[in-house]
Amino acid sequence: MTALKDTSASAQPAATYAARVQKIVTPLGLEAWLVEDYAVPMLAFDFAFKGGSSQDPKGKAGVAHMLSGLLDEGAGPYDSDAFHRALDDKAVEISFHESHDNFSGQMKTLSRHMDAAFELARVAICEPRLEVESIERVRSQIVAGHKHDAQDPNSLAAKAFRIAAFGDHPYGRPTKGDLDTIPAITRDDLVAFHRAALARDNLKIAAVGAIDAARLAALIDKTFGALPAKSAVVDAPEITPAFGAKPTIIDVDVPQTTIRFGLPGVPRHDPDYMAAVVLNHILGGGSFSARLFKEVREKRGLAYSVYSQLMNRDHSAQFIGGTSTKNERAAESLAVIQEEIDKLLTDGPGEDELEKAKKYLIGSYALRFDTSTKIAGHLVAMQTDGYPVEFLDARNGLVAAVAMADVNRIARRLFEGKPLLVAAAGRPEGF
């Protein structure tokens, strides 16, 4: 289902996105972004509460994650089995997720089952049972996943890198907890998180599909109206991630080394942010066209994949990347990555590279809007990231305006005088 049309390939500018979004305010004062589309009788409904796993009590990382797995395990008049039968009977999809900064949910339903879908969402959000049996079942599932991750080089490298970058800051803690913290979480912890984080004043909402503003407003108030008016979320402190320390190596008896690397990044509302997006696409974000892909995989055959990306949270910004390679070629792979970063710093990209990167970033933007589910998710992400609806139309113009001087400036800002922070899992030779 396509709800927003991109006309950038035609003679017209792509100025249709924001015009399709209605900003509505419910009688209870809740704001939602709505895109009406009756082409298919369905609705995609996304929402997020500010305050995710960064709100977990110290020593009990994983509370938000465990709660996300419990909201559909019995709620209101339904036990766990009855709740899932009710979802299946109406072909309703409801899921919950957490990140460091947000606790989010998604719902997808046919129009004819809309009232039933919102009622199921209401009881899951406002009246979760959090029964002991369900808690222990979800706990055991999470613990089983952690036991697997304890032998997985990707998970081990990511964990070591996160701790090296953020230390004891909430961003240094695992969103899913670990084998030490998950057993310590109690039902009281889950209830306390629910009470503190799920409130009406920190709620962002988007809906896409066959519904009008009046009906959506009524359903939103019915769904979220019983939640507290004010949250008790405490913002995490601002933090600049570390860089340049001695590499952290986790010894794992496997033939390949998994490498994570990074530096402080660029905040998402910084004037240079879009230049950083373009620079990252040239370096390692552009898949087959990226310099790292060409140098690490195509020319030298060091790894199957290699990437870089910008990782932005509400209170920190990071440039990160990674690859996996044979133990005996780990040092060579990292050296090639550093060499490509140094080349961009000293020489900058070519004009052709810059133009191709901008064309790709502009042209691929429409792929974020080719289904109702993608659109709803993107609209909620914009709200949690602090962007106005007008950014939908402004974004491609900001990419097009990035000049060579901007890319060179942000390369100096990101890379100059900052050795990479590196974490690796395996048995790398030469580190």
CA dist 186 and 58 (Å) reads 13
Q: Would you say residue 420 has pLDDT above 80?
A: yes
Cα R_g (the chain), whole angstroms: 23
296: pLDDT strictly greater than 50 = yes
Q: How many CB atoms lie within 10 A of CB 316?
A: 23
17 pLDDT band, cuts 50/70/90, is confident
- Residue 55 confidence class, pLDDT cut points 50, 70, 90: very high
* pLDDT mean across residues, the chain: 95
**Per-residue pLDDT tens over the stretch 156-178:** 999 999 999 999 999 999 999 99
Q: Check the CA dihedral 188-192-193-199 and report its sign.
A: positive
Residue 8 has a pLDDT of: 35
Per-residue confidence (pLDDT) for residue 312, from 0 to 100: 97
> Which pLDDT band, with edges at 50, 70 and 90, does 219 fall under?
very high
DSSP symbol at 72: T
pLDDT at 245: 85
| Residue 166, both tokens | 């953020």
Q: For the chain, count helices (H), then strands (E).
A: 15, 11
Report the residue count for the chain: 431
pLDDT at 414 over 60: yes
User: Residue 206 in contact with residue 379, Cβ under 8 Å?
Assistant: yes
- Evaluate if residue 10 carries a pLDDT over 50: no
pLDDT over 70 (residue 429)? yes
Place of tokens 């990071």: 318
Report pLDDT for 4.
58
Alpha helices (H) in 237-371, listed in sequence order: 273-280, 291-292, 330-347, 351-363
What's the pLDDT at 2?
Answer: 45
Q: What is the pLDDT of residue 16?
A: 78
Domains 17-224 and 248-426 equal at CATH topology level:
yes
Sheet of 22-25, strand order: 22-25, 31-36, 203-209, 42-50, 102-110, 93-98
User: For the segment 314-354, what is each residue's pLDDT rounded down to a tens digit?
Assistant: 999 999 999 999 999 999 999 999 999 999 999 999 999 99
Q: Hey, what CATH topology would domain 248-426 get?
A: Cytochrome Bc1 Complex; Chain A, domain 1 (3.30.830)
> Is the model's pLDDT at 7 over the cut of 80?
no
Mean pLDDT, to the nearest integer, of 365-370?
Answer: 93
Q: What is the pLDDT of residues 372-402, one digit of tens each?
A: 999 999 999 999 999 999 999 999 999 999 9
Residue 179 has pLDDT above 50, yes or no: yes
Q: Is 168 left (phi over 0), alpha (psi -120 to 50) or beta?
A: alpha
pLDDT value for 12: 33
- Interacting residues of 38 by C-beta distance below 8 A, sequence separation 6+: 210
Domains of the chain by residue range:
17-224, 248-426
For residue 217, give Cα distances in angstroms to 34, 94, 223, 392.
Answer: 10, 19, 10, 23
d(CA 124, CA 321): 37
Does the pLDDT value for residue 6 go beyond 70? Answer: no
| pLDDT reading at 57 higher than 80 | yes
Work out the percent of the chain whose per-residue pLDDT is above 70: 97
Tally of CB atoms within 10 A around 151: 11
pLDDT tens profile 265-288: 999 999 999 999 999 999 999 778
Class of domain 17-224: alpha beta
